[in-house]
Each structure stands twice: as structure tokens, then as C-alpha cells.
Structure 1
Amino acid sequence: WAPVRYKGLNWAVISEVAQEEVNRPVMQLLQIVGLLALLAAVAVIFVSLRVAGGVTEQVDEIMQGIAKVEKGEYGEQVKVTSEDELGRMAGSFNQMTTTIQDLIESRQKEHDELQDSIIRLLEEITELADGDLSIRATVTEDVIGTLADSLNLMLEELGTAFVRIKQTAEQVGSTANILSESTGELAGQNNNQASMINEAVQEINLLTGAIREAADQANQSASFSRESSQVAAEGAKAVRETSQAMEAIRGNVQNTARSIKRLGESSQEISDFARTINEISDRTSILALNASIQAAAAGEEGRGFAVVAEEIQRLAERAAVSTRQIETLIKNILGEITEAGVSMDSSIQEVVQGTTLSQNALARLDEITNRSNEVFELIQGVASAAQQQADTTAILATSMGEIGSISLETAEEAMGASVSMQEMAVMGNDMLQAVATFKLEAEDQADDAPAEVVEADVHDA
């Protein structure tokens, strides 16, 4: 229905439609949607079954391949059943197993070759136990070849060393005989030298005693000078501390004076405020009096106002009394502040004079300290020079005594060395016999040049 107004009257238009006809389009749309949903569900189920079947088959193949790899079977290949990510994964797995199999075969081959090289090297060096240093190991291109090359180099160096040992042993025997004769003559000369050194040591000891006595006296003078310098330094320190304290007092007094001045200014301001309050209370009292007069003129109606006016007048009188008391108190405070300011100015002048006197005394003490230090340094230099000279002569005496002792010891050692040289000749012969048990390949090649070098070393020694 719908409202209609016609010629000032309200009308209503009514239309009737069957319920089945209204719902028919909706029902048709619902049937179409349901059919489409059913078809879509069937299609999704069909595609899911196909995809799940392919994925399951490829995953089973990969899992079987992994199980074989865990058992050590790297030669088996996984069947590729799809071209998606799982198929590519299966292909990569096949490449990995192939690479692992090739690596295992390569490592096994290298291990076999290394084992053969070790066995061959052991067979070649077994003759070393019999003293044959002329053998050489076969050099290959693997790690054992490097070891064999190092072993060959070591055998060459060892052979050359044994040849030089043999030559050295021969030269030791001949040189020991020559040194045995020379050490006998050296022992006699050292005995004469020891006697002369003992006489020189006695004279040096006398000189050392005189120098030490002079050094002791210089050290005593230096000690006295040092004590004087320390006393002057302590006095300067005390005066400096006193001066610093005076400066601090001066600063504190100046700060106090400024505070007192600010206090006086504040008190003056308070006095002005109190004067203003007093004037206000006087005016308030006059106003209260006028109000009381007007309230009395008003009669019965102004009685309440008169009570208030009287109370205001009493408060004004009390305020006036209080302000007068405050003014009196502030005047007393200002008087005391003025006296304190005068006293502080006097104290500042005294502190300034004390600071000046302290600075003058400090300058004099610093000058005394400097002079004392100069005297101490001069005396200390004399004492140090005397002490150094005494130490030098003492060291010289000690050295001469040690030289004498060394000369005696040298004489004894020379005699012992003569015996040792004879024993060394015997040891050289024993060494030649020991070296002769080894078979040396480089013995003939090293006969000339090394012998000259060793002989030159012996003569230089």
C-alpha cells in the first residue's frame, strides 16, 4: 500500500501479490548456487586425489632411496615420477648419491696407493739399522714422497756430518798434543803474574780507605744541608697553607659582608612594607569610624553594620600596633646590620694585611729553600764524586784480586788442561773407531773443504 492525498482527502493505494510469485526468483537462484557448489566440490575432490597420489608416490621413492643410503648403498638411483619440486628433489638426490659414490672410490684408491708407498719406504730404510747411511728412498708424488725426500736429505746431511766428525776427531788428536805443551808454559807465567797483582791490590786498598773517609764527611755535610732544606720547605709549606687559609677566610668574609648587605636591603624593604600596612590600617580605621557614624545615623537598621564597623576598627588598630612593633624591630636589626658591616670591613682589611705578610714570608722561605737546595746539590755532587771514586778503587781492588785468583786458577787449570788434552786425543781415536762402523756415501766428496775449515777454527781458538 501507499498513502495518496487527493483534493484535500487522504487516500491509500493497496496492491496484493501472491507469496509464491515473490519467492520464485529467490528459489531459482538458490538452486543454481547449490548446483554450482556441488560441481565445485566434486572437481576439488578429484584434483586433490590425483595430486595426492603423485606426491605420495614420489615421496615413497625418495624415502626408499634415503633408507638405502643409510645402509651404505650409494649406487642405487631414485625413480623420478614427476617434474615438480619433488621430481627435482629426486634428481638432486640421485646426483648427491653419485657424487658420494665417486668420492668414496677416490678416497679408497688414494688409501691403497698411500699404503703401498708406506710399505715400499719401510722396505727401503730397513738397512739403516745396520749403519748403512748410503741408502736412498724412492721419491713419489704423494705425501710419502715428500717424507722420502726429507729422509734422503737428512741422510745426506747426516753422512756429511759423520765425515766432518771423523776429520774433526783427527785434528783434535793432533791439536791436543800441541795445546798440552803450551798450557805447561802458561801455568808458569800465571804464577808470576799473580804475585805482582797481590802487591798492587794492597796499595789500592790503602787508597780506597782514604777516599771513603772523605766521602763519609761529604755525606754528613750533605745530610745537614738536606735537613735544613727540608725544614725550610716545611716552613714554606706551613706559610703557604696559612696564606691559602687566609685567602679562604677573606672570601668567606666578603661573602658574609655581601649577605649582610643584602639582609639590610631586605630589612629596608620590609620596613617599607610595614609603613604601607600602617598607612592602610590608619585609613581603614578612619573608614570604620565613618561607617560607624553612618550606621548610628541609620538607626535600628544600621545596627548590624555598626557592629561590623567596630570590629574592622579594632582589627585596624591591632594591625597598626603590630606594624609599629615591626618597624621598631627592623630599626634595631638595621642598626645591628650596620655595626656588623663595619666589623666585617675591618676584618677584611686585617685579612688582607695578614695575607700580604704571609706571601712575603713565603717568598723569603722559598728563597731560603732554593739556596739550601743549591748547597745540598753541591755537597751531594762532591759526596757522589768521592763515593764513585771510592767505589771505583774498590772495584779495581776487587778486580785485581779476582785477576790474581784467576791467574792462580788459570795456572791450575792449565795443568789440568794439559792432562785433558791428552785424554782428548784418546777420545778422538775412539770417535774415529765409532764413525768407522757407518757406511758413508759422501765420505770421499767431503775430504778436502771441510777439513780446511775445521783446521782454521782450531788454530784460531
Structure 2
Amino acid sequence: MPTLERQQSANKVSLFAAQTQQNLQQVDRSLLSRKIIIIPALLFLLSLLGSIYALYRLYQANNLTQRLLIEKETLRQRDEMDAQFERARAVQQENEQNQAAILRLLDELEHVADGDLTVSATVSEDITGAIADSVNYAIDQLRHLVQAINRTAFTVAESSSHTQLNVTELAQASELQSQKIGDVSSAINDMVLSIKQVSSNASQSTSVAERSVEIAHNGAQVVQRSINGMSTIREQIQETSKRIKRLGESSQEIGEIVGLISDIADQTNILALNAAIQASMAGEAGRGFAVVADEVQRLAERSANATKQIDTLVKTIQADTNEAVMSMESTTAEVVQGAKLAADAGEALKEVQTVSNSLASLIQEISNEAKAQASSAGHISQTMGVIQEITSKTTAGTRATVRSVGQLNEMAASLQKSVSGFKLEQDPTGDKG
């Protein structure tokens, strides 16, 4: 019976040892997963409790063989616990090394978070080695990106400043051109009124010439009246000649004004070309401004073409005016000759009639020429209106361009400010990089 009890006690000791081992394994897995430093202390405490309990049961058994078995089992469990303790200590040491490597990497990256791109992470054989290498590559790429942004922002700011100055000068030139065109339009309107007056006088001269023909048919009794009428015609022709001469002088002034407009158009074209060059230097950021500069250049070319047309029309008016003056002078001479013939004898009435017919024809031509000149002057006035409208659009476009360039300059300054917080290495030229 005592043997059976000792056997049962030994079985209980073995069962307790197995449970203790299982509990130790569970505790080992739980504590290792949490990476707690007290693993060795718990293992040692549990091992000590198991040993004490085994000795207590061995003392109760009072059996040498059973005691040896218990001691052997106890030693085996103790060896196994020692092995687990060594594994736990190795895991703890590895965790401590990994934790130290992670803390070192975080300390190095703290400067990067503050904008310092001159630092680099330490590449080692630890668990953070590959991460440090990737971080160094990212820092290097970020450093190059910040340097490129700095250079681009500086270039854009410098180019936009020059462009803004050129466009401002272009806007001032456009405003001056608009004022000059307004003066020319006013002069052309005055010229149109003068030409209409010439046409009206020519129509009146035609009526007088027809009256002279009628008087010539009435006979010698109306010779004196014919002479008076011719004198009146001569005076009117002289007055018409004076007005036509004044028209020629006005045409000369128009030619000078047209030359001034042509110079302004050339200057506008040059300024537009300079603006296009500056826009091309700005690259992608200046593409919108290049379109505006191209539109300004086309407007300047249209202005130049319009001034050429005006110059041609003015030359035509001058030529026609000279011919009209010559015709008027010739007509005056013929009227004087006709008056002399009428005074000499009534037999010269036929010749007077012929001269009167010629005079009527010439006056009709003068009237037609005056009407043509009035039409040409009206066309010139319309052309000047178109030029003035184009110039107004050019001025508005240049002002919009000035605002756009100002916004571009502000964007470049904002871009420089956005990357100014990064710390970069200094290159030999003195620029950040």
C-alpha cells in the first residue's frame, strides 16, 4: 500500500513537472512576444518553485529509487529551463540591438524633419541598414529637387523682372501711339470737311458754266453779262485753286503724320519682338506671355500695313490735287481768254460757248475728283479708326501682360520662400546646393 501511494506521489510529481513545463513554455512565448526584460527572473522563480515542490514530494515519498527519479526529472527540467533562459536572453539582446539601431536612425532623421538636408543616415548591418540606405537615397533626391526649385525660381524671377520692364515700356509706347492716332484722325476729319467744301464749290462752278453757255446763246446783248459771269467764275476758280492748294498742304501734313505712325508701329514691333524673346527665355512659365507678345507683334504689323496704305492714299491725293491745281490754272487762263474774245466781238460767242462747254466739263471733273477725294478721305478716316481700335487693344493687352508678369514674379518669390526652410550644402560658386 505504501508503494502504491509512493507511485501515485511520483506520478503527481511528474504531472506537476509537466504542467510546470507547459506553463513555463506559455509564459516564455507570452513574455518573449512582448519583449519584457523580466523574462529571466520569472523563469528562475518558476524553476525554483518547481524544485522546492519536487523536493517536498520527494521527502514525503521517502523512497530512494523514487527520490532518484524525481531528482533526475528535476535536473532535466532545470537544464531545460536554463536553455530557455539562454534563448530568452539572446532574444532580449537582439531586441535591445534592434531598438538601439532604430533609435539611432530616428535621431539622425530628426534633423531631416527640421529641413536639414546635409545629414545622412548610418548604413550598417543592423535591421535598419536597408532602411537607412533608402532614406539616404530619398534625402539625396529631395536635395536635388530643392536645388532645382531654387535655381528655377531665381531664373523665373529674374526673367519676369526684365519682361515686366519691357512690357511697361511697350504699354507706354502704345498709349503714346493712341494719342498720336487720335490727333491724325482729327486732322483727317478736318480734311474731309475741306474736300466736301471743294466739291460743293465745284458744283456751283458747274452751274455757273452752264449759265455761261446759256448766255452765249442769247447773243451779243448778253456778252457783257457773260464777261461778268466769267469774271465770277475766274474768282471762284482761283478760290477753289487756293483751297485745293491748302488741301495739298494738308495732304503733306498727313504724310508726315503717317510717317510718325509708321515709326511708332516699327517701335511697337521691336518691343513685341523683345517681349517674345524674354518670354522664350522664361520657358514653360512664359508660354502665355509669348502668345500675348505674338498678338502684339501682329497688331504692330497690321498698323504698319495700314500706315502704308494711308501713305499711298495721301500720295494719290497729293497727285490729284496737283493735277486739279494745274487744271484750275489752265481753266482760269481759258476763262480770261474767253472774256477777251467776248469783249472783242459777238462773233466770238461760239468760241465762248465752246470754252464754256470746256469749262463745264473741267468743273465737272473737278467735282468728280473732289467727290473721289472725299470718299478716299472717308476711307482714311475709317482706317484710322481701325488703327486706333487696334492700338487700344494693344494697350489693354500690354497692361494685362504687365499684370500677368507681376503675378509670375510673385509666384517665383513664393516658390523661393517655400524652399527657403531647407538647409543645403554650399557649392564652390556660393549658391546653395
Shorter-chain TM-score category?
0.3 to 0.5
More relative contact order in 1 or in 2 (CA 8 Å, sep 6+)?
A: 1
- Length-normalised TM-score, structure 2: 0.34
- Length-normalised TM-score, structure 1: 0.32
Which of 1 and 2 has greater Rg? 1
